[in-house]
Amino acid sequence: MAKRLVPLLNRVLVEKIVPPSKTNAGILLPEKSTKLNSGKVVAVGPGVHDREGKLIPVSLKQGDTVLIPDYGGTEVKLGDKEYHLYRDEDILGTLHD
Amino acid sequence: MAKRLVPLLNRVLVEKIVPPSKTNAGILLPEKSTKLNSGKVVAVGPGVHDREGKLIPVSLKQGDTVLIPDYGGTEVKLGDKEYHLYRDEDILGTLHD
Amino acid sequence: MAKRLVPLLNRVLVEKIVPPSKTNAGILLPEKSTKLNSGKVVAVGPGVHDREGKLIPVSLKQGDTVLIPDYGGTEVKLGDKEYHLYRDEDILGTLHD
Amino acid sequence: MAKRLVPLLNRVLVEKIVPPSKTNAGILLPEKSTKLNSGKVVAVGPGVHDREGKLIPVSLKQGDTVLIPDYGGTEVKLGDKEYHLYRDEDILGTLHD
Amino acid sequence: MAKRLVPLLNRVLVEKIVPPSKTNAGILLPEKSTKLNSGKVVAVGPGVHDREGKLIPVSLKQGDTVLIPDYGGTEVKLGDKEYHLYRDEDILGTLHD
Amino acid sequence: MAKRLVPLLNRVLVEKIVPPSKTNAGILLPEKSTKLNSGKVVAVGPGVHDREGKLIPVSLKQGDTVLIPDYGGTEVKLGDKEYHLYRDEDILGTLHD
Amino acid sequence: MAKRLVPLLNRVLVEKIVPPSKTNAGILLPEKSTKLNSGKVVAVGPGVHDREGKLIPVSLKQGDTVLIPDYGGTEVKLGDKEYHLYRDEDILGTLHD
C-alpha cells in the first residue's frame, strides 16, 4: 500500500492535473489549451515560524486547485502516483471556476 | 470556460497592452512608439506579512495601468488569453493620462 | 565497537531504507517502485537558537520515517553502517502507513 | 499624448542631461568635458517601508540635478522622450552650481 | 617551543584522529574502517554575540571527540603538529563510545 | 564653472593624492614610494539610517586624509578635476603625520 | 617620514612576522617550521555598531600576536614597511608562548 506523506514546514504536496488531450467527444485539442500548469493540493505542512516565534500557517489547504511554476519542485513517488513538493511561497496562485 | 486566477502573496496578474501598429486611420506607426511595456492589472494577491507579522497589502489595484520590466515575470495562459505574473515590487510604476 | 554520533544544532542522522529489489516470494520488483528516497531517523540534534535566543527544537524525532531529498546530506560511516546527516529543514516530510 | 509615469516604491525617474558638444558660439568641445553623467529628476516614488513599517521617503525631489551611475537603471520611453528609472540609493549625489 | 593558539569568536581548534592502519596485533585493516573523519577538540573560542548583544558560547569543549566535515577548515601548524580550525557550526556532531 | 557634488547616503567624495615622482630637489623617487593609495576627503553624504531609523553619520569629514582601496569606487569628473566616490565603509583608514 | 594609519570600523593593521630561515647559530631551518602565518597587531579600529546602535569594539589590541588567514587582507605600505589590513573577524586567533 502507498505510504502517506506529511510535508514538513511550509511544503505543499501537489498532484499535477494532466489536461485531457481530447475532449469527451473525442476531438483532439490544440496544444496551447494544454499549457496551464495546474495541480490539486493533496497535503500541506504545518507552516514555518517567523522571527518572533509565531507560526505562519501555509496559505493553501488540501483540495485547492493551484497554478504551479514551470520549474522547481521536488518529484515524489508514493505508490503508483507521482506528486510534486513545493514551498508554499512558490505556488503562484489558486484557480477558480 | 477560462478559470479565474487569484494570485498568492504580493503577486500581480498583468495583461500586457499590445500597442496598435497602425493608427485608427490606417497609418503605420514607426517602431519606437511601440517601445513602452505597459499592462493592465487584472488581479492582485493579498500582500505579504512583514517581520512583525503585519500584512503589507499590494500597492497596486485591479484596473491600474502599469509599466512592467523588460525581463522577468511568469507567463500564464488562462483560456485563450496570455497574462504575466509579477511580484509587486518588480512593477516599475503606474501610468496616467 | 561503532561509536555513537550525537548531531549538533538541527542536524538529523538518517539511515536510508534500501527497498527490497524482490518480494518475499522472490518476484523481481520493477525499478519504479524502488524510487522513493526514504530513511529512518537514528538521532537528532538539540536544535538551533532563533534571533531572540529561544531554542527551536528539531521537528523530527528518533524512529520517524522520513522522505529525504535526492541530493545533499553528508555521508557518515559509523562501524559498518552508512548514514546521512541532514539539516532538519532539508527533510521533505514524514511517511506514514 | 505622452502618458505620465508615477514611480513605485523608492524609484526615481530621471531625464539625462545631454551635454552640448559645442559651445553656444559654435566651438567644438573636447570629449572629456562631456563625461559627467547628470540628469534632472522628473518624478519620485513614495518611498519604501522599513522593518518597523515606517515609510522612508525618497531622499530626492522633482527638479533635483543628480549624478547618475554609468551602469544600471531602466530605460523608459514616454511619448518621444527617453528617461531612466533608478532606485534612489543608486543615485550618487546631487549637483549644485 | 610551540606556541599556544587561542581561537577567536566561535572557532574550534581540532586535532584530527589518524586511524591506525593496522590493529595492535599487526593485522592490516581494510580501507573503509578508516573512513570516519574524527578529531579531538584542543581549544575553543569565546563564542559570538547575537543581534541582542548576548554571547552565544561555543557548543563544544576541549577534549570532545567530534565528527568533522570532509571539506573546509583551515590548516594550522603549531610546532610539529598539524591542526584544523573550524567554525563550531561546521562541526557535524560529537562521537561517544 | 564646475558644479559642486553633494554625495547621497554614506558616500564620500575623494580626490586622490598623486605622489610626486621626484623630490622638490629634482631627484627621481623609486617606484615603491608611490604605492600608497591616499586621498583627501572633499565632501561627505549625510549618512544612512539603521534598522531603528536612527541616522548613522559618515565616520569621515571633509579634509581627512584617507587610505583608499585599490579597486572599487566610482570615477567622477567635475570641471577639470577627477574624483572618486566611495561608500564610507570601503575607506580603509585615516592617515596622520 | 612614514604616515600613521588609524584603521576604520573593525579593521586591524597587522605586521607579518617573517620567520627566521636560519637559527641564531646559522643552522638552516627546514621549510615546515616557517609555515605559520603570524603577525603583530600594530593598530586597531574603533569597532562597528550592531543593529541596536551599540559599539562592538575590536576583540584584539595593539601588540597582540595573531594567526592570520592564508588569503585575504589588504596590503598597505607605510614608509618602507609593508602591513596588512584585516577585518577582526578574519583573524583566526591569538598566539601565546
Q: How many CB atoms lie within 10 A of CB G4?
A: 15
Q: What pLDDT sits at residue E80?
A: 87
Q: What pLDDT sits at residue D34?
A: 46
More confident residue, F3 or B51: F3
Whole-number mean pLDDT of chain A?
A: 87
Does D8 sit within 8 Å of B59, measured CB to CB? yes
Is A76 part of any domain? yes
Whole-number mean pLDDT of chain C?
A: 87
Examine the pLDDT at C77 and tell me if it is beyond 50: yes
Q: Does D51 touch chain B (CB under 8 A)?
A: yes
CA distance F15 to F7: 14
Q: How many CB atoms lie within 10 A of CB G64?
A: 18
Q: Average pLDDT, stretch C57-65?
A: 96
Distances (CA, A) of C32 to A7, C39, D3, E78: 22, 17, 58, 54
% of chain D with per-residue pLDDT over 70:
82
Chains C and F touch (3+ CB pairs under 8 A): no
DSSP state of B22: B
E18 grid coordinates: 589518524
Residue located via cell numbers 590493529: E23
Q: What pLDDT sits at residue A16?
A: 95
What is the interface pTM, i.e. ipTM, of the complex? Answer: 0.82
Chains G and B touch (3+ CB pairs under 8 A): no
Whole-number mean pLDDT of chain E?
A: 87
3-state secondary structure string, F41-53? EEEECCCEECCCC
Does D7 sit within 8 Å of B92, measured CB to CB? yes
Q: What pLDDT sits at residue C93?
A: 97
Side-chain-facing half-sphere of C86: CA atoms under 13 Å? 25
Enumerate the β-bridge partners of residue C58.
none
Examine the pLDDT at B28 and tell me if it is beyond 70: no
G65-94 pLDDT, tens digit per residue, is 999 998 889 999 898 899 999 999 999 999
Q: What pLDDT sits at residue B1?
A: 55
Number of helices (H), then strands (E), in chain C = 0, 9
More confident residue, A50 or D65: D65
Is G72 part of any domain? yes
Is D1 part of any domain? no
CA-nearest of B18, B74, B64, B71 to B44 is B64
Q: What pLDDT sits at residue G68?
A: 96
% of chain B with per-residue pLDDT over 90:
60
Cβ neighbours of B50 in D, within 8 Å: 49, 51, 53
CA distance G65 to G47: 19
Cβ neighbours of D49 in B, within 8 Å: 50, 56
G89 grid coordinates: 573577524
Q: What pLDDT sits at residue A50?
A: 78
Question: What's the CATH code of the domain at F37?
Answer: 2.30.33.40
Which of E50, E93, E95 is facing C11, going by the closest CB pair?
Answer: E93
Is B24 part of any domain? no
Confidence tier at E54 by pLDDT (50, 70, 90): confident
Examine the pLDDT at C86 and tell me if it is beyond 90: yes
CA distance G18 to G13: 16
Residue located via cell numbers 583573524: G91
CA distance C74 to C71: 10
Q: Average pLDDT, stretch A30-47?
A: 79
Confidence tier at C27 by pLDDT (50, 70, 90): low
Examine the pLDDT at A35 and tell me if it is beyond 60: no
CA distance G58 to G80: 27
CA distance E48 to chain C (A): 13
F45-70 pLDDT, tens digit per residue, is 999 987 777 888 999 999 999 999 98
Which of G7, G49, G51 is facing F93, going by the closest CB pair?
Answer: G7
Q: What pLDDT sits at residue F52?
A: 74
DSSP state of C97: -
Examine the pLDDT at B55 and tell me if it is beyond 60: yes
Q: Does B53 touch chain D (CB under 8 A)?
A: no
% of chain C with per-residue pLDDT over 90:
60
Q: What pLDDT sits at residue E75?
A: 93
Report the phi/psi class of residue F53: left, alpha or beta, with left for phi > 0 and alpha for psi in -120 to 50: left
Residue located via cell numbers 593598530: G43
Q: What pLDDT sits at residue C30?
A: 57
Is F2 part of any domain? no
Q: Does D85 touch chain B (CB under 8 A)?
A: yes
Does G89 sit within 8 Å of E4, measured CB to CB? no
Q: What angle do CA F3, D11, B6 make, to 5 degrees?
A: 175
From first to last of the 97 residues of chain F, give the pLDDT tens digit.
578 999 999 999 999 998 766 666 766 655 554 456 899 999 999 999 877 778 889 999 999 999 999 888 999 989 889 999 999 999 999 999 8
Is E5 part of any domain? no
Is G75 part of any domain? yes
Q: How many CB atoms lie within 10 A of CB E3?
A: 14
F59 three-class SS: coil
Q: Average pLDDT, stretch A1-24?
A: 85
CA distance G1 to chain E (A): 35
E23 three-class SS: coil
CA distance C63 to C42: 6
Q: Which of A84-88, B43-47, D55-59, G93-97 has the lowest mean pLDDT?
A: D55-59
* Number of domains present in the structure of chain F: 1
C85 grid coordinates: 546527516
Q: How many CB atoms lie within 10 A of CB C48?
A: 18
Range(s) of the domain holding residue A41: 11-18+31-94
CA distance C56 to D32: 60
Q: Average pLDDT, stretch B53-74?
A: 92
Q: What pLDDT sits at residue D71?
A: 87
Does C8 sit within 8 Å of E91, measured CB to CB? yes
D75 grid coordinates: 530605460
Q: What pLDDT sits at residue F33?
A: 47
Is B34 part of any domain? yes
Confidence tier at D83 by pLDDT (50, 70, 90): very high
G10-40 pLDDT, tens digit per residue, is 999 999 998 766 666 766 655 554 456 899 9
Residue located via cell numbers 499592462: B39
